Structure 1
């Protein structure tokens, strides 16, 4: 199976990626390196990809477990090298869930299933860097 993504240069440091044939993602650099800061940097999108992938898994699994979530946020804290090529060496996901009577064991199971079985982004990143997580639940 193959996937194709088309990306076009839009001048200076701006690139426009056509995702799934109809969603445009504009990437750009900061002004100090020739960009206009009109979009996120490509490496930042790696963090967004991880959050989206595991977040969709966790919500889907919790729905099947009949866990009612009122709010769900994630923070990803990443360590990046100072030397070129600058790359991530570690990512830490903080899963933040809010709701009444949320069973912590069910949430842990959902997160573990995402991290160990379903999230392809996590699987790819784990081959290149340290990937850890924590869960925070509030009412």
Structure 2
């Protein structure tokens, strides 16, 4: 049997919920136009955060094992949504941005591909229902 994890929310009035994940608490809320007070992020964009957090951790871990040191690393994802209900993501595009001196492009590409194709469980799960593309940008510092 696999490992079980839980998340919970506790309603705090209006459209705000205190969320607890792995003993960490934060607020999620809705936009003011639908009754929220903007006390925290919306739930769907947290799906984007889960994706870039997962793949970002993979890539850094893999690069450390390859003894590749970067000066700066940023991962951004853009999720495109449909317009009808239920509103959901229909595709995602990830941009990996690396800065450093003499960064080995082949190792960076390998680390990103290993994350996308083998290690990132969030990416693997999402890819079963929507297309996910990515690109790599390397800047010399």
TM category (shorter chain) comes to over 0.9
Where do 4+ consecutive residues of structure 1 move more than 4 Å? none
Q: What whole-Å deviation, never above 9, does each CA across 1:86-107 have from its counterpart, x for those lacking one?
A: 0001000000000001111101
Gaps of at least 5 residues in structure 1 are none
Q: TM-score, normalised by structure 1?
A: 0.97
2:95 corresponding residue in structure 1 = 94
> Alignment partner of 1:55: what SS?
helix
Matched pairs, number: 138
Shift of 1:25: 2.1
Which runs of structure 2 are paired with 1:1-139 in the superposition (5 Å)?
Answer: 1-21=3-23, 23-139=24-140
Q: TM-score, normalised by structure 2?
A: 0.96
Unaligned runs of 5+ in 2: none
